[in-house]
Amino acid sequence: MSDKKDKDKKKGKIINFVNRSKQNKKIQTDKDEFERLDALAKELVDVYYKSAKTSFFSIGYCFYLFIFRVLQSMIAQTSFPLYRYWYRTASKEVLENYDEWMKEYKDWDGTSINDKVEGKNKPQDESDTIH
């Protein structure tokens, strides 16, 4: 009998690679996890933005503080190569999407400060370039 117990102790645990949500017995995929974490990240940013709008600091400085703390936490929790990879990937994606954002808001001259829109419906000049 003791031989069987010793044998059972020596066996490794079998890891189930299909994650299941305990509450609704649903198979959890990478897409589901991405959507869950992305929604959480968006909610955090929205809540922070609402709080930052009430601050007397500029919105840029408020987001600097937020980004600084996120990056500081990220570099402390991951390896430097992972930090550098994800930082560069996110920066590249934001810059690639910037062109699409500029097309969407091409008639705006300024930025929105405390819900006051500056330069709305600026005439489009084909010779304008972004530097």
**pLDDT tens column, 21-53:** 555 666 667 788 888 888 999 999 888 999 999
Bigger pLDDT: 2 vs 87: 87
Closest by alpha carbon to 17, among 29, 9, 8, 31? 29
Q: How much is the pLDDT for 99? A: 72
With a cut of 70, say whether residue 118 has pLDDT above it: no
Q: How many Å apart are CA 103 and CA 16, to the nearest integer? A: 47
* DSSP secondary structure string for all residues of 73-111: HHHHHS-HHHHHHHHHHHHHHHHHHHHHHHHHTTT--S-
Straight-line distance from the first to the last Cα atom of the chain, in angstroms, rounded to the nearest whole number:
78
Kindly report the average pLDDT of the chain as a whole number: 75
Q: How much is the pLDDT for 100? A: 75
Q: How much is the pLDDT for 30? A: 77
The tens digit of pLDDT for each residue in 89-112 reads 998 888 888 777 777 766 655 555
Closest by alpha carbon to 86, among 104, 70, 98? 70
Distance (Å) of CA 11 to CA 4, 14, 17, 49, 65 = 11, 9, 18, 51, 49
Q: Which residue has the tokens 């102790």?
A: 9
Element (H, E) at 116: strand 116-117
Distance (Å) of CA 9 to CA 1, 16, 40 = 13, 19, 40
